[in-house]
Amino acid sequence: MDKSMKFRALVVEKTAGGQFMREIRERSLADLPSGDLIVRVNYSSLNYKDALSATGHPGVTRQFPHTPGIDAAGEVLSCDDGSFAVGDKVIVTGYDLGMETDGGWGEIIRIPSSWAVRLPDALTEQEAMTLGTAGFTAALSVLKLVRAGVKPTDGDILVTGATGGVGSIAVTILARAGYRVVAATGKSTDERFLRDMGAAEIISRDQVTTGSEKPMMKERWAGCVDVVGGEMLSAAVKSTRYGGAVTCCGLVGSTDLPMNVFPFILRGVSLIGIDSVKCPADIRLEVWAKLAGEWKPGHLMDMVTVVSLDGLEEKLQSILGGKIRGRVVVKLA
């Protein structure tokens, strides 16, 4: 392809004073890293990790100038190794996209072909990005609970951080799978939203963590999808029933886990880590098939706000301040 081909992208630049500035620029194919797959991005999304990258967090991105966007959906422009044909619709999430490799907030990406999966026929590109890494992580968490033997008849499933991207999609997937979901949130005004997503009960953060200073708490949950970490995760583990399981995929509360081994050795509780970045291809395909089929949220478009590249700045500030409900999709087409 013509290396001088131009496209628009949101670029994060580190200034001489160590600050970070963001602007939409015209870039060319020659600016992109090497890779055998070139994709025209039609939709991307906004995740907390994207906001960290866009503000220069060294735990996510160290090389600048840089284009964030850990999610992308679009059509193949070229594929050197023959894994995809020109015009194929693909989804790219995880791996290094949007971290050190220029990501989905640019109209074109160039990546290894192994990072992409085919867009299922039952999903549009916008639906795929409404799900994105958040939906993939939520579905992977539910899959791990199912594989750990947690059944709908075992009791309530707790979802923490329930109004966020991962949490809200986890609520609706679990409800569709037949589980009774208890949604924990610090946003009391979002009860209607959570009910619409499928939550049977909404509780406050304090109702989860009260008593968490104890070695163990009263058994309440058959399982839990935790996206918060810290004290919330500790309380969830301590209050999970005998033989239950808790998945862990977030750290917005804290990276520390203040607890002891008692829930594990006295109740047989399992703590399952969820990594959506390096998840193997066969599991990725299984998860996306479920998201396009039996686990596809019935109210998927009710949880999305669509913005252009030009409208991203306001949403960046909102997600950093914990003020985002549901998902933000970026339309580049």
Same domain, 325 and 268: no
Same domain, 167 and 41: no
Same domain, 237 and 153: yes
pLDDT confidence of residue 18: 84
Same domain, 200 and 86: no
Same domain, 91 and 193: no
Tokens of 158: 């707790």
Taking a C-beta distance cutoff of 8 angstroms, is the pair 35, 100 a contact?
no
Q: Which domain holds residue 164?
A: 133-273
Same domain, 58 and 181: no
Residue 291 lies in a domain: no
Whole-angstrom Cα distance, residue 298 to residue 312?
A: 26
What are 68's strand-pairing partners? none
Residue range 210-234: average pLDDT?
Answer: 96
Least confident of 98-102, 163-167, 254-258: 163-167
Residue range 291-302: average pLDDT?
Answer: 85
pLDDT confidence of residue 236: 97
Residue 39 lies in a domain: yes
Tokens of 327: 């998902």
State how many domains the chain has: 2
Residue 62 lies in a domain: yes
pLDDT confidence of residue 205: 93
Confidence check: pLDDT of 189 > 80: no
Residue 60 lies in a domain: yes
Confidence check: pLDDT of 129 > 70: yes
Same domain, 105 and 167: no
Same domain, 202 and 233: yes
Confidence check: pLDDT of 68 > 80: yes
Going along the chain, which residue ranges are E strands? 6-14, 20-28, 37-46, 71-79, 89-93, 108-111, 116-118, 157-159, 181-185, 201-204, 221-226, 240-248, 270-273, 304-307, 327-331
pLDDT confidence of residue 1: 65
- SS3 of 232, please? helix
What pLDDT band is residue 193 in, cutting at 50, 70 and 90?
confident
Residues 6+ apart with CB under 8 A from 319: 46, 47, 48, 51, 328
We report the CATH number of the domain holding residue 80 as 3.90.180.10
Whole-angstrom Cα distance, residue 24 to residue 41?
A: 15
Same domain, 212 and 85: no
Whole-angstrom Cα distance, residue 52 to residue 283?
A: 27
Supply the pTM of this predicted model.
0.89
Residue range 235-247: average pLDDT?
Answer: 98
State how beta strands 304-307 and 327-331 pair. Answer: parallel
Residue 126 lies in a domain: no
Confidence check: pLDDT of 268 > 80: yes
Residue 293 lies in a domain: no
We report the CATH number of the domain holding residue 259 as 3.40.50.720
Same domain, 23 and 66: yes
Same domain, 157 and 269: yes
Confidence check: pLDDT of 303 > 90: no
Same domain, 113 and 172: no
Residues 6+ apart with CB under 8 A from 12: 20, 21, 22, 53, 54, 56, 61, 64, 65, 66, 67, 68
Tell me how many degrees the CA angle 188-189-195 measures, rounded to the nearest 5: 85
Residue 98 lies in a domain: yes
Residue range 180-189: average pLDDT?
Answer: 88
Residue 281 lies in a domain: no
Distance set, CA 220 to CA 154, 188, 268 (Å): 11, 21, 14
